[in-house]
Structure 1
Amino acid sequence: MVPVGLRLSAAFAWRLLVVAAALGVIIWLVGELALVTTTLAVALLLAALMAPVVDLLIRKARFPRGLAVSATIVGGLAILTGLVTFVVVQFTDGLPALREQLSRSFDQVGRWLTEGPLGLESADINDLIDQIVSYVERNQGTITTSALTTAGAVGEFLTGFLLTLFILIFFLLHGNDIWSFLVKAVPGNARRQADIAGRRGFASLVSYVRATAIVAVVDAVGIGIGLWILGVPLVVPLATLVFLGAFIPIIGAVVTGAIAVLVALVTVGWIKALIALAVVIAVMQLESHVLQPLLLGRAVKIHPLAVILAITAGLVIAGITGALVSVPLVAVLNAGAKSLIDNDEAQTADEVPVLARGGSAPDVVAEPSEDGSRETTREAE
């Protein structure tokens, strides 16, 4: 006779293997269709960012939906184009000064290597430089191949950009119809719960994207002001880099902050670089302990371990784009799972936001029924 414990272990084991196999197939499909999956994810993020704007234009300015969507997308592209142009112009204008400061810094490093504790000879330093030049010459073919690969990546980026824009337009125009069509694939007895869970998941995505954008702006402004006071060149490009990096939680802020500190080290000296490091750490502490808890709250709060694992998985599957979209997608799944677990029967599907409308989910509070046997919900005032 098979022991009960062994039977239970075997039952759990084969179910776990089935789940692992299903997850493996899904991850493999996502990797094989990386262009499609990443564009869908990015378009969903942009829809979460723009849906409240579209909703505002429809409700306040009485715009038709098509006009509201067009105005929002054109305005977003105009802001993005202006920002990129401004950053490029600032980088081009600041490049000569950066070159001069780098030359002075290298001279100081060279003097420290020869006159400092290491006591290296000038011939040794020149030999090192010659070796670097020889290495570049020997690997010129590899460098050229990398450049061609980069050109191919640019073409793939443009394709993904156009596909993302196309998907975004339909998400904003017909998001509610698309979601209603997808929900029909769910069995009838669970369709209503799945509908509510999906809408709450999108509401959490809207909150996440809005809060992350505010946090990114605060990070960029705070670190940018600190670098400007210290006299670090290329303040605007570095602040823009910090803004973009803030959309990848934890890792993005660390990497972009390290780049800013490194630029400060080679341009204005190690003392001001230490001050810049202190500024970066202070801004990150403000983000972690004040801004994110205040703006995100409990609705989209994710454990740091889940964030790291999600970012790592996103990097492995789809590179930087995967790291960018992994955490918000985890936030959506987290909110949807919580909704299914709570199984809030009193909350109707019309009370939660839809993709085409944007907005955030209403607050609900539990209150006992008259006989005390179950709980109902009402909208918090």
Structure 2
Amino acid sequence: MSETESRKADEAGSPADAPMGRSPAYITNPELRLEAARALIWVLVVGLLVFAIYISQSLLVIFGAMVFASMIDGGARLLGRVFKIARGWRVAIVIVAMVAFLAWLGQFAGSQISQQAAQFPAIVGEQLGRLLALLREQGFAISQADVQSVVGSLVSGVGTVTRAIGGIVGGFATIALILIIGIYIAIDPNLYERGIAWVVPRHHRGAFYDTVEHMAFTLRRLLAGRLFGMVAEGVFTWALLAYGGQLFGIGPVPMAALLGLLTGLLAFIPNIGAVISGMLMVLVGFSGGTDMGLYTIGVYLLVQNFDGYILIPMIAKKTVDLAPALVLGAQLVFGVVFGILGLALADPLLAMIKVALERRAERLDRESGSSDHIEAEA
């Protein structure tokens, strides 16, 4: 055997030369051992990614429960500033208040809104028919096949709305899971935080607690601002549609309560929700004539300007400032992949990712600054 081959054999090692207690497959070469470790890490990362995609729906439900728990936690913290009582009692008060509000909504407003909702599809269909007839009068050759194509495109374009309706009707199990898990988390969030921290390496637990604290604070602020915006937009829209038209001699817009409720609910979904509620508002408005239709366009523009120039900047200043294009892109991706639940949770999830990246960047900057300071002193 040549000297070069002998040296390579010594570097690679052999089963016979392996120390006692080590496997015959043990790699003695440090470089080969490092490459094998890297390959194992990549295999684990890919495996975890595939597993996360497989259980992504369940993970999204858990995140939705965390969002709901943040709402309860935020309400309990607000009560804690006024009432010096145990956290469990404050959480119970918030939950009872939510149940009471839903009961009130169903009892006092349910009958009126249900009657309006029953008439809503017929009015929207009638207005779409008038729009197509107007286009034919203007010289557009629209056949029945074209109408069906347009309807198909509309259904495809607002597929998230269809999934939303289907989710409301048939997704009670998912909603129940979100509510139950969220209540459990809200009762004692530190229990679950400690459980997750237990599997985090000890030297990373400080960074974990710091990130979780900032994420929870940001999520509470974001949801508080979102709920405030939903209430403001819903009440503002209802008031303008029900009473504002009388100033111009138009009269109340039909289904003002339903449109205000839909506007408030859809305000939870930035960008897309405003477009959907505006389209519905204008379609209903034109059912009462051209003047009423133009008035609803004005109401929509006024509400959106109020939301865009007053509410959103005020909320973003207190929470996390997300770029509108980034939010819209995340909504489109999550809406296609996960449906209405992904569409509704895209904004909070994006905010949490941003906070985590910002905290990591700040820690790296501090570590870099500390190392530079030590080198300067040396």
TM-score, reference length from structure 2: 0.68
**In structure 2, C-alpha distance between the alignment counterparts of 1:248 and 1:86, rounded to whole Å:** 26
Given that residues 97 and 233 in structure 1 are in contact (C-alpha distance below 8 angstroms), is that contact kept between their aligned partners in structure 2? no
Number of residues paired by the alignment? 307
Shift of 1:234: 0.9
For residue 241 of structure 1, what is the aligned residue in structure 2? 262
Asked which structure has the greater RCO (Cα within 8 Å, sep 6+), the reply is 1
Match of 2:94 in 1: 72
> Does the aligned pair in 1 maintain the 2:116–2:258 contact within 8 Å?
no
**CA–CA distance in 2 between the matches of 1:303 and 1:309?**
10
Of 287-296 and 235-244, the range deviating more from structure 2: 287-296
Helix, strand or coil at the partner of 2:206:
helix
More moved, 154-163 vs 334-343 = 154-163
Measured on the aligned residues, the alpha-carbon RMSD in Å equals 4.1
CA contact (8 A) 1:194 1:340 kept: no
- Alignment match, 2:239: 225
Query: Residues 57 and 286 from structure 1, CA distance in 2 versus in 1: closer, same or farther, beyond 3 angstroms?
Result: closer
Amino acid at match of 2:311: L
Q: TM-score, normalised by structure 1?
A: 0.67
Give yes or no for the alignment of 1:81 onto 2:103. Answer: yes
Q: Deviations over 1:162-189 (max 9, x none)?
A: 2122211221112012112212322222
Q: Give the unaligned 5+ runs of structure 1.
A: 1-14, 133-148, 347-372, 375-381
Indicate conservation of the 8 Å contact 2:266/2:277, yes or no.
Answer: yes
- Say if 1:77 and 1:317 are closer, same or farther in 2 by CA, change over 3 A: farther
Q: 1:92 deviation in Å?
A: 4.0
**Structure 1 residues 1-381: aligned runs within 5 Å:** 26=49, 29=51, 32-33=54-55, 35-58=57-80, 60-94=82-116, 157-228=171-242, 229-230=244-245, 231-265=252-286, 267-297=287-317, 299-343=319-363
Q: What fraction of aligned residue pairs are identical, expressed as a percent?
A: 21
Which structure would you say has the larger Rg?
2
Structure 2, gaps ≥5 residues long:
1-37, 149-162, 246-251, 367-372
Distance 1:302 1:320, change over 3 A: same
Asked whether the equivalents of residues 91 and 186 of structure 2 are also in contact (C-alpha less than 8 Å), the reply is yes
- 2-structure distance, mates of 1:151, 1:93: 17
Deviation sequence 1:10-61 (CA, Å, 0-9, x none): xxxxx9xx99x958964x6555435522322222112221212223444533
Q: 1:213 to 1:269 in 2, by over 3 A?
A: same
How far apart are 1:91 and its partner, in Å?
A: 2.5
CA distance in 2, matches of 1:220, 1:186: 43
Output the amino acid matched with 1:193. A
Partners of 1:304 and 1:150 lie apart in 2 by 22
Q: Aligned with 2:339: secondary structure?
A: helix
TM-fit CA distance, 1:263: 1.1
